[in-house]
Amino acid sequence: MRVFIALPLPQEAATVLADWAHDFSLINSFPLRLFSEEEMHLTIIPPWQAEENELETFKKIINKAAQLSKPIFMELNKISYGTNEDNPRLIWATGPYLPKAEELRNRIYGLLKEVNSGPDVIQYPRILTHITMIRFGEESLGKPKTRLNEKIVVRADLSGVSLFESVPSSNGTRYKNIYLKEFGKGQH
């Protein structure tokens, strides 16, 4: 199974982004995969291959890291094509850098390395604050005729950390939140 660690988006913020994505899908005819509200998250540890019998260890690591953390305030202020505007594969909402999310990521990554698990390396030393809302179909759109640079204001307290599973499906990979631990709570 492929798993990753992320900060799930609170319901109210996820609803705003999901509604925007739904409206976008109504006026565009190319193949889109909309993310459900439950799938919206800020990835802090990218996906890696894991075994089912490792999940309890990952939950303990998440518990330990979450216990020492407080909610992380996030503001999203722009919706645009990503990751390359000249040949986009998705639409995302982005916002300012979150040093507290990066501190949490580094703590969890260190704990994963202690048990010889997790991704081999973290590709990006700095977390890009983004929530993916839409993925395009297999075929690339090529260079869009117009730029997408819409201002948005979505503010949220990210109040927990989750273990997600990447689940392949016929319409592209889906993300299943298999464990959530709220920040600052005991290990029970």
Q: What is the pLDDT of residues 22-76, one digit of tens each?
A: 998 888 777 788 999 999 999 999 999 999 999 999 999 999 999 989 999 999 9
Q: Is 11 left (phi over 0), alpha (psi -120 to 50) or beta?
A: alpha
Residue 167 confidence (pLDDT) above 60:
yes
- Rounded Cα distance between 49 and 117, Å, is 9
Q: What is the pLDDT of residues 105-149, one digit of tens each?
A: 999 999 999 998 888 777 667 889 999 999 887 655 666 666 788
Confirm whether pTM is higher than 0.75.
yes
Q: Set out the domains of the chain in order of their start, with CATH numbers.
A: 2-182 (3.90.1140.10)
Query: What sign does the dihedral 131-84-98-165 (CA atoms) show?
Result: positive
Q: What angle do CA 108, 114, 117 make, to 5 degrees?
A: 75
